[in-house]
Structure 1
């Protein structure tokens, strides 16, 4: 059975997951996406049917090892870091009604000989209590976990673009958030990012806020990533100048055109090139056209407030705490 699908080949989201399917569409449209392949959901099902063993099924391990070797030896992979980004691409992930954002593991800076262990860690993360609770609320009967593998972009700066304003829902405003280093700094909420609002039609910058970016996420020479203090001369300097913002505006419009809906796009800049790392639909309420980054349904009378809750729950809420408190909070 063929368990590897290259991004250039395309693939059904039911086989390669939403993340890989979207990036495949972008790379085939000629947009700058790092090369890569997907270990399909069929490999995950084999592992589950074998009783979730400690190691990969033999057929899976053999095909994965061959694909990693081929990827790193390919011409398109030249110029990237000699380590890999290993990310989930679940069949219910990055869908129009639910992003699954942050629910499954990502492993960055993975040496080639540790890819199998990273795949197993991602598969096991799909079995956790938090993911099960998320899935039960959204209702998908079965979630297959494909895994996307690409060379890691040695990013000097990274960020996120929304092709519609994620707060107001205004489809004419494009929002860019960016930090120094790898994208974990912004998507993980580790660093307050620079923030720009751009007119989608003209590319004119409407708002610009440069943050004091104290930290940045970089590759750890021993594998993985680590947080380090940002160099003093970078902390208060914008991560991107007007020329790069213009290129981001151009690419974001093209991504939205290819995908046919407002998008939440992750990107990284290395050298003088921008790479697209992810594109998923911004969650939309179709009846009202209201754009929200919350996966749960809300109504026009809902008021969001951080009053008191920051003191009561200052950190991440565990599944156990949430299961005990959600009835009272609702």
Structure 2
């Protein structure tokens, strides 16, 4: 059947404007034969028609303005009133029917799905909207799905999202929200992976954080996960830290998720086997190449031994590659030891300063003593022993 508002998860040649940043990345991975959970996109056209037919745009833009509370810019009131507007009107029959038909075409009767926001101004190389719009996990049934979709639309107008767009100079009138609906992955282990070290900027290192259960616990910082530093050329583990992993998030029997304690035995165990870690890092590098070699921040999950890719976006604010500086002292220095002078002159000195002042001053002998042991050489200050 032909849809007006629905696109398949592996759709090709679709714009970010149509399915948002998250959707665009997923579509690219799915069309490249990556293991992406099946599902569909509700495009931004549905959101735009919903806003237009209910005459909401003018009121939204009038409300989406800052107010000063105690010398602080606040969007709390604006967000509250805009979300009330969105939640106060019904979706059209046309949109509802398409959602129900697309949902019914997924596996099983009332399958559990993940419902994720995908704005047309998120997951861009220079912008980070992570955590500003909502995700709903383990959603079951048509009515629950429609409610979750409406809540995703409303999350376009959270205080954080409005404020961030305001700070970054993004016009409020151009934003729109697509929604990603995917079969829920009941993950045994999940987490995040960076194809470059996001702290040091080291491109030769892959950083993996993992824990038991659903990945929201790792993404949301609710657990201290296992952490692995992997060499991207050899896939060998350079460093591993086993986190306490005291709790995990799992799907509830009905709707949503619950927090569950992890057994004492599991807490001390690595959540990833060497085989799974190697497979994960190998696929992550393939994903990076799919995105023209841009370092990626990837969310992943393992369920019953199968690895799934849930999301990929550029790493924002990645530091530059560290510069390795090699300095060898010239003769006659053999053994180098720092002395108190390095605290006073910690930086390398220029040859002119060394020749005209420093060396002569240091080598001026005291009475009855020879002081020819000092050596500078245009580098950090050392004393030859």
Decide: shared fold, TM above 0.5: yes
2:306 to 253, 258, 273: 273
Shift of 1:139: 2.0
User: What are the ranges of 5 or more consecutive residues in structure 2 without an aligned counterpart?
Assistant: 57-85, 323-385
1:192 pairs with 2:224: yes
1:132 pairs with 2:162: yes
Shift of 1:222: 2.2
1:84 to 109, 113, 119: 113
Shift of 1:232: 2.2
Please give the secondary structure, in 2, of the residue aligned with 1:9: coil
1:215 to 243, 247, 250: 247
User: What are the ranges of 5 or more consecutive residues in structure 1 without an aligned counterpart?
Assistant: 75-80, 292-330
* 2:251–2:258 CA contact under 8 A, matched in 1: yes
Matched with 1:170 is 202
Q: Deviations over 1:204-245 (max 9, x none)?
A: 111100011110000011210011101222111111010000
Shift of 1:280: 0.1
* 1:55–1:120 CA contact under 8 A, matched in 2: no
2:92 to 44, 57, 60: 57
Figure out how many residues of one structure are paired with residues of the other and give that number.
283
Matched with 2:20 is 17
1:107 to 108, 114, 136: 136
* 2:299–2:312 CA contact under 8 A, matched in 1: yes
Please give the secondary structure, in 2, of the residue aligned with 1:56: coil
Matched with 1:322 is none
Q: Distance in 2 between matches of 1:111 and 1:265?
A: 26
Shift of 1:35: 1.0
CA RMSD of aligned residues (A): 1.7
1:95 pairs with 2:138: no
* 1:84–1:112 CA contact under 8 A, matched in 2: no
Matched with 1:2 is 4
Matched with 1:70 is 105
Shift of 1:73: 4.9
* 2:132–2:158 CA contact under 8 A, matched in 1: no
Q: Distance in 2 between matches of 1:238 and 1:93?
A: 33
Please give the secondary structure, in 1, of the residue aligned with 2:123: coil
1:40 to 43, 46, 57: 43
Please give the secondary structure, in 1, of the residue aligned with 2:157: coil
Alignment of 1:247-262 (within 5 A): 247-260=279-292, 261-262=294-295
Q: Give the structure, 1 or 2, with the largest relative contact order (CA under 8 Å, sep 6 or more).
A: 1
Matched with 2:347 is none
Matched with 1:121 is 151
Please give the secondary structure, in 1, of the residue aligned with 2:105: helix
* 1:46–1:57 CA contact under 8 A, matched in 2: no
Matched with 2:72 is none
Q: Distance in 1 between matches of 2:100 and 2:128?
A: 29
Matched with 1:282 is 315
1:264 pairs with 2:297: yes
Matched with 1:310 is none
Greater mean deviation of Cα atoms: 175-184 or 63-72: 63-72
Shift of 1:290: 6.6
